[in-house]
């Protein structure tokens, strides 16, 4: 569903709101069940002290507040009766720096990263009335008193939209936020492989472990891998901190993934062939974009994100491996060329040349990710059951690095008693991570895995 730019003026709490943003949430399903609402628009109004967020829906929906933002400036809500076609993200307004909407089995997570410390003060659902034909889920976010608003820097080029702002005719499944109604970004649709890229030093995220901080803090020039060098493996334990992930009968996804990540790290380090970096080594929340920065900053040869699936039917069980989808390719291109969090410097001044270079880079990366995914499934099938369609693709943010082969492994269904028992049992978990380790060793034993495109 595509929406055009719509500015709005309204009175709220005695002051005029003249800087509202209208976001088009594309990719919603064409038809919706009786119990599934569809998001239509996301609007922002207010300023750095108090911001109102309005999510327009085609029917009523309820949300659970997971984090109000007071602890770390990260607001999280989950909707159990909301349906979206793909993961979405975009730039915010006022106190909201950025937002994302991630789908899962049975729920949709709506997150807001705040510019400064604040919290949700109130939230409520307004039904259609007085000529308004949609439902409005309203959230008021207020800054914590005594915290200073960050300086607002003017964009270097106001004609260029940010990573998540491309119009839907360019990136049909992406959201859009319009800061400049006349801005018309170039068509950045690519079919994204791996050349030498230089990454600017990203900022460290609060709560990162020491190894991750070192990986993120320094600029890196990618070098050609050699078969004799120790391979760098970045292991990402999904969720953490205020974000528990999926819930089982007696466990939380964030704990299961952290235990598995530590087991895999120990397994790989015993060989002496790998240098292993964890995105987190304790119960802390790491923003998704920071996990990608850790992998790129560490000059990773492979990134693996560990998760546990969930579903409404406890009989559904089995592992799944995800690699980057075509929509994810588009998200990467937007981030690279429109000022997003993936900060790379491509040689040359001509945009078309840079697009070609990025295309070559990611094509190789996707091929390698796919090759490892198949190897991984082959090895873990000896330790756990697999879903019927066990190799899938998605646009998950943690898979977006254009130059790091990456997979997301759903180790099983935490809502399945059988899978949960395996994921929480130290011996069975160690065997599965042993199989993952075997897959990584086997992957890098292949000559093709050690090669880097020379273009």
CB atoms near residue 237 (< 10 Å): 29
Taken in order 141, 144, 145, 149, the sign of the CA dihedral is negative
Q: Do both 55 and 203 map to the same domain?
A: no
Give Cβ neighbours of residue 363 (< 8 Å, ≥ 6 apart): 191, 192, 193
User: Is the CB of residue 148 less than 8 Å from the CB of residue 122?
Assistant: no
Q: Is 152 exposed, middle or buried (0-12, 13-18, 19+ CB in 10 A)?
A: exposed
Query: Which of 122, 143, 164 corresponds to the end of one domain?
Result: 143
Q: Do both 210 and 127 map to the same domain?
A: no
Give Cβ neighbours of residue 51 (< 8 Å, ≥ 6 apart): 44, 45, 92, 93, 94, 95, 96, 140, 141, 142
What pTM did the predictor assign? 0.55
User: Is the CB of residue 116 less than 8 Å from the CB of residue 143?
Assistant: yes
Q: Do both 124 and 266 map to the same domain?
A: no
169 within some domain:
no
**Where residue 91 sits, what CATH number does that domain have?**
2.60.40.3500
Number of H helices, E strands in the chain: 7, 21
3 within some domain:
no
Q: Is 45 exposed, middle or buried (0-12, 13-18, 19+ CB in 10 A)?
A: buried
Q: What is the extent of the structural domain holding 331?
A: 198-450
Q: Do both 223 and 114 map to the same domain?
A: no
In this prediction, residue 127 carries a pLDDT of: 84
176 within some domain:
no
In this prediction, residue 408 carries a pLDDT of: 96
**Tokens representing residue 228 in the block:** 């004799």
Query: Which of 125, 143, 161 corresponds to the end of one domain?
Result: 143
Q: pLDDT tens, position by position, for the chain (455 residues)? A: 333 333 333 433 433 333 344 444 544 433 344 467 888 888 888 888 889 999 998 888 888 898 888 888 889 989 988 888 777 888 888 899 889 888 776 788 899 999 888 889 888 888 887 677 888 899 999 988 765 554 443 333 222 222 333 322 222 233 323 222 222 222 322 222 223 333 333 333 344 454 444 444 333 334 334 445 789 999 999 999 999 999 999 999 999 999 999 999 999 999 999 999 999 999 999 999 999 999 999 999 999 999 999 988 889 999 999 999 988 888 888 888 888 888 887 777 778 888 888 888 888 899 999 999 999 999 999 899 998 889 999 999 999 999 999 999 999 999 999 999 999 999 999 999 999 999 999 999 865 444 433 33
User: Is the CB of residue 40 less than 8 Å from the CB of residue 137?
Assistant: no
In this prediction, residue 25 carries a pLDDT of: 53
Query: Which of 126, 143, 160 corresponds to the end of one domain?
Result: 143
In this prediction, residue 419 carries a pLDDT of: 95
173 within some domain:
no
Q: Do both 412 and 302 map to the same domain?
A: yes
CA atoms of 49 and 40, how far apart (whole Å): 26
Q: Do both 121 and 213 map to the same domain?
A: no
Domain count, the chain: 2
177 within some domain:
no
**Where residue 423 sits, what CATH number does that domain have?**
3.40.630.40
User: Is the CB of residue 294 less than 8 Å from the CB of residue 234?
Assistant: yes
Total length of the chain = 455
Angular region, 432: left φ>0, alpha ψ -120 to 50, beta rest = alpha
Q: Do both 387 and 322 map to the same domain?
A: yes
In this prediction, residue 9 carries a pLDDT of: 32
**Any alpha helices (H) in 270-403, and if so which ranges?**
288-297, 326-337, 351-380
Q: Do both 70 and 213 map to the same domain?
A: no
163 within some domain:
no
Give Cβ neighbours of residue 308 (< 8 Å, ≥ 6 apart): 238, 245, 246, 248, 253, 256, 257, 410, 411, 412, 413, 414, 419, 423
152 within some domain:
no
Contacts for 388-394 with beta carbons within 8 Å, 24 or more apart?
389/320, 390/318, 390/319, 390/320, 390/321, 391/320, 391/321, 391/323, 392/320, 392/321, 392/322, 392/323, 393/322, 393/323, 393/324, 393/325, 393/326, 393/328, 394/87, 394/322, 394/324, 394/325, 394/328
182 within some domain:
no
Q: Do both 332 and 267 map to the same domain?
A: yes
Q: Do both 274 and 378 map to the same domain?
A: yes
Q: What is the DSSP letter of 155?
A: P
Q: Do both 78 and 202 map to the same domain?
A: no
CA atoms of 257 and 304, how far apart (whole Å): 11
């Amino acid at each position: 569903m595509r929406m055009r730019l719509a500015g709005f003026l309204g009175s709220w709490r005695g002051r005029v709101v003249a800087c509202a943003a209208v976001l088009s949430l594309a990719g919603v399903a064409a038809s919706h069940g009786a119990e599934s609402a569809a998001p239509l628009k996301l609007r922002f109004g207010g300023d750095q002290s108090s911001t109102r967020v309005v999510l327009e829906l085609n029917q009523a929906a309820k949300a659970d507040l997971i984090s109000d933002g007071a602890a770390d400036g990260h607001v999280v809500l989950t909707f159990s009766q909301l349906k979206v076609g793909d993961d979405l993200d975009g730039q915010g307004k006022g106190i909201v720096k950025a937002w994302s909407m991630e789908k899962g089995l049975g729920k949709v997570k709506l997150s807001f990263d705040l510019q400064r410390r604040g919290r949700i003060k109130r939230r409520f659902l307004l039904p259609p009335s007085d000529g308004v034909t949609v439902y409005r889920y309203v959230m008021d976010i207020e800054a914590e008193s005594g915290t200073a608003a960050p300086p607002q820097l003017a964009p270097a080029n106001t004609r260029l939209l940010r990573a998540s702002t491309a119009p839907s005719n360019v990136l049909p499944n992406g959201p859009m936020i319009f800061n400049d109604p006349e801005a018309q970004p170039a068509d950045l649709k690519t079919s994204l492989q791996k050349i030498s890229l230089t990454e600017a030093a990203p900022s460290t995220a609060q709560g990162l472990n020491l190894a991750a901080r070192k990986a993120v803090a320094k600029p890196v020039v990618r070098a050609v891998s050699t078969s004799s060098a120790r391979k760098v493996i970045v292991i990402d334990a999904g969720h953490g901190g205020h974000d528990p992930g999926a819930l089982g009968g007696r466990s939380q996804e964030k704990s299961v993934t952290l235990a598995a990540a530590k087991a895999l790290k120990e397994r790989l380090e015993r060989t002496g062939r790998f240098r292993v970096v964890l995105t987190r080594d304790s119960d802390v929340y790491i923003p998704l974009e920071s996990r990608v920065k850790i992998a790129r900053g560490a000059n990773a040869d492979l990134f693996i994100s560990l998760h546990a699936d969930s579903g409404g039917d406890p009989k559904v069980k089995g592992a799944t491996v995800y690699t980057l989808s075509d929509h994810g390719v588009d998200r990467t291109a937007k981030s690279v060329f429109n000022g997003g969090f993936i900060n790379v410097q491509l040689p040359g001044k001509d945009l078309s040349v840079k697009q070609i270079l990025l295309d070559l880079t990611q094509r190789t990366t996707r091929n390698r990710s796919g090759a490892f995914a198949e190897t991984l499934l082959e090895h873990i099938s000896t330790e756990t059951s697999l879903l019927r369609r066990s190799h899938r693709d998605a646009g998950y943010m943690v898979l977006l690095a254009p130059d790091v082969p990456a997979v997301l492994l759903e180790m099983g269904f935490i809502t399945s008693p059988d899978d949960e028992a395996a994921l929480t049992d130290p011996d069975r978990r160690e065997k599965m991570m042993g199989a993952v380790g075997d897959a990584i060793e086997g992957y890098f034993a292949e000559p093709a895995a050690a090669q880097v495109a020379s273009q």
